[in-house]
Chain A
Amino acid sequence: METTATDAALQSIPALLARNAATWGALPAYREKEFGIWQSWTWAETAAEVRAIALGYMTLGIERGDHVAIIGRNRPALYWSMIAAQMCGAVPVPLYQDAVAEEMAYVLDHCGARFVVCGDQEQVDKVLEVQDRLPGIDHILYLDKRGMRKYDHSRMNALADIAAEGRAAHHRVEAELDGRTGELTFDHPCVMLYTSGTTGKPKGVVLSNRNIIVTSQNTAGFDRLRHTDEVLAYLPMAWVGDFIFSIGQAMWTGFTVNCPENAATMMTDLREIGPSYFFAPPRVFEGQLTNVMIRMEDAGRLKKRMFDHYMAVARRVGPAILDGKPVSALDRLRYAIGDIFVYGPLKNTLGYSRIRVGYTAGEAIGPEIFDFYRALGINLKQLYGQTEASVFITQQPDGQVRSDTVGVPSPGVEVKIGDSGEVYYRSPGTFVEYYKNPESTASTKDAEGWVATGDAGFFEEGTGHLRIIDRAKDVGKMADGRLFAPKYVENKLKFYPNILEAVVFGAGRDMCTAFINIDLTAVGNWAERNNIAYSSYQELAAHPKVYEMIQGHVEDVNRSVAADPMLSGCQIHRFLILHKELDADDGELTRTRKVRRNIIAEKFADLIDALYTGKEQIYTETEVTYEDGRKGSIKATLTIRDAAVVTGEQRMAAE
């Protein structure tokens, strides 16, 4: 790439789009599977579509600085409507599509959105439900016309119709549009993203063109991304990562963004596209590995033996081959044979045949899971980031990949560790401000531009890699002053496929206790193989055999935690298996599936109390929210078990 981001001409996403249309006009920019076929749009077609939508916005009277909310699953037209908004000098605000109307109302009100672009009827209905409280909404646009015929269209329109109107009106509005597009600079806001926030109301993070474009440029260079790369855009559009991958980096490097048919077909679509650059949170990799293992359990003897044998080979030498370390010729030959018979077909089934760079982030990934993919020859790496940093804070360079670090600072990013152990960073990607919230901006970003991540961590000596221990505010002290790092223990628990989620308590207490959520897929399959009958999640979760199994896992974790003298106080003395899955709809998790401790502690106060008062059983009623927003309640009697812990003396003896 001969151009640099400091070029005056390339200071906005629309400018990059124009460059791409000129450079790679006939190459695919976006694909979407629809009606069973991958429909494709070239860069030139994309530029024309985006322009038509922008002209359409102009006919609706969009103003500079207006906010355009985008709600829906990943679809090319929704990405285009974001870029079109930028062309008009407006700011796109993508929202989480699975948010209920109430949550949407807050964000729509806070940003004062004038236009809302919805994917389908479902999203339109949610907006209409809260519209009477939101006088600021001028016009609702929707993509999918299905079911929309009977709606009052006085302030509503199909996006395609508005684009057509825009095309027809181009003489009238295009001079103004071109003027607004031309005046965009690095300092104009590029997008506003609401952080899910493990505490309190979501905050609107304003990211400028500089944040997005310079970050994209730096990180695309780090991983040598090219315009021939392919990505699958399937993560929520409201998440900063999707914006960076599917818009920032895609526009900068000119690679192709592929949108799946719908959420349920994602795995099939992944296989069909075979992306070369892929991002997934750990749970996707976990889910796939669990599936592979379940299917191997049912496979024939020969296949199973081949799989076991060659996976052992791969675990031993695969990561070393991937990192370019010396490996004996015999092992290379073994690996090559394994690649023909096992790894190749397996990667093909998973859709990872063509991956050059794969990233996982958001949560800690289990070492076994991580090593499994690395062993297959998939260049899976970890990065550490947050919305306020335009994703990238640290990432792992090729050849220096480990499951317990998050890598070295990304290009252009400075990282320091504060006195309290908290990680701070300063980078070209550092956000401009929290929208309409100067206090929070000031408390997060200091005058010199350093931002507190809220995570505690340290740099490893020798390698310079960053290791994250836990959320800084979650790291606490137990009653006797020992260190309490709940996430550290929870992650260890969650590495077991049977455990979906865990919440550990113990701050200010004399011992640690835990809530466990079982993974229905894994435990259900285990139950099937062991002839354990159950009729509901609740019944399975309460089964004594399941308790026994989970107890085994907890005690394993206790042994592993005890090995670290600093954290040995975090062993779990008592635990219970929850009768319901923790759910974002009930407010127990964030939309990105992070545990909200305060809310859980409040909601299940009776259960926590029972954990600490030595009860064997506890009756509880829990309110749940169904997908359509209705409320109901679950009643259950939960069993509490004691888990064996390793005491100091035992550890000494073992040593």
Chain B
Amino acid sequence: MITEAGYLALVLALALSFALTLFPFYGSLKRQMEPVLLARPLAVLMFIATAFSFYALSYAFYTNDFSVMYVANNSNSLLPWYYRLTAVWGSHEGSMLMWLLMLSAWTALVALLARSLPLILQGRILGVMGLVCIGFYAFVLLMSNPFERSLPFYPVDGRDLNPLLQDFGMIIHPPLLYMGYVGYAVPFAFAIAALLSGRFDANWARWARPWALAAWMFLTLGIMLGSWWAYNELGWGGWWFWDPVENASFMPWLVGTALLHTLSVTEKRGTFKSWTVLLAISAFALSLLGAFLVRSGVLVSVHSFASDPARGLYLLAFLLVVVGGSLTLYALKMQSVRSQARYQLFSREVLLWGNNIFLLTATLVVFLGTIYPLVHKELGLGSISIGEPFFNSIFHILAIPFALLLGLGPWVRWKQQPVTPLVKPFAFIAVVTAVISLGWVSLYQSFTANLALLGLLLGVWVMTSSVAEIGQKLRSFGGAVGLKKLTLSHWGMVFGHLGFAVLVIGVAMTKTFSVEKDVRMKIGDTVKLNEYSFVLSDVYALKGPNYLGQAAELEVYDEGIKITHLHAEKRFYPVSRATMTEAAVDASLTRDLYVALGEELPGPSWALRVYVKPYVRWIWLGGVLMALGALLALFDRRYRQRSIAE
């Protein structure tokens, strides 16, 4: 029963999304307020209907209703209840329903939080959201209905959830990522509403910016969590694989980052308007493109859902309407919009141009790397694949000018910046950067020009400049009282930049100094990786409740000083005849140590796998700091004020 109710709720939500599109546009066309006023309650109702529908599917999973095909295909009665619930978004249909839940949640949030906006603008924004909703609701109802029943012949029990998906990371990774993807519908709706009205003032940018920040925050966390999950669950060592689906999430992130920066220019200087609008459209277009690539089967990846050309065709048609339509509108309307502001060559505006150029070059590289194999094949030139070395080498090069500009940017004023006042602080920053990074790298190696040194120089440069900039601000405000005067969005910027610096250092150090070794050891033997000596102190037999096995005890020394003890096990489960390796991991801020116990060899000796991964945690720490920066900026007071003109 509740399953059918869930389906009906979804149909109702589709009807509501039609109403949400029609009423406000009709009202804004006829200059009548009543239809526009309907938009807000419609948006909230649509969310409630969708939430109920999502609840209904979750309920079917919770109660093991295997007459629902989607449940039978993705869950079974032996799964613990929390994995049954997360199985809701474990496959195509359910994840689309979650996509709808997020989309309607954003729409309702806009309806509730954007009340200070002029009514017509509100109506248009919600109308565009409604239009996007129509496309997705119809897609789910027509092509991916998760509520389909297999009556009268339903299975007694379901299939197993992919074991890789039975993990905490899987519980929150897709929802966060979807929140980010779908979140870009809001800046997109703002951009289209502004194109329709032809008004792009500072207020518009100020209203749109918190939404761009929120979407970016979720996307950042989602990507980071995916990377962390891959590292933990999909085999040790890898944290980014340049897989097409990872790239599909990375592209909106890069464009979204560019958008955050140009929105601040549009907000504070009233310029870069056409560029900002294009970025807002592109960020959402790339989210949609990502959905298309993943769900149509055009690109093959470990993440791909089962492919279906009909679904692909629908999504492509939708992409054409939404993106093609908005780019046409853009081309027609944007011609007449003029930016008035003037600025000199050395100004924050120009530096932010630089930021955008590098971010978009990076996007283009990822885009071409992802789509080129497809184009190549369709041109009849044969199958090729583009792998890690291509992306890595280009990103190493792009990072250099990007980080250098990033260190400079916050110091430079709008309009025009005289060079002389910056010479002294930057001489100081350069010296501090050189001293710290050379000192840092000398802990690990002699002074050779390699990735580690480059990463440290760039990371420390950004850090020093960010910290010094805060110091300089405080001095100009007159000491510690200045702390209160610094806006939250300024702190947000600082955290975002520090996060980037931490990430760069993490990537460079991990890539340079990671060591992986397979060794054969007797009791008492020592193996040395980097500065760490692993001593195998004991191996003994284990007898668990349902398994037999062996355990190894290792002491780890750093130049004679014992730093940790590792306990690794190898278990054999006689019933399922499965061997499980319980690896020992010692994680800390500056390195992860990893030991897995292998086979017993004659001697007696044992095969062991030993990893040292310096600074790998910094990669995710950087992501968390960036997301924290976005969160701080979101709470800036000025996003809660009414429009400046009022």
Q: Indicate, yes or no, whether A interacts with B.
A: no
Interface residues of A (CB under 8 A from B): none
Interface residues of B (CB under 8 A from A): none
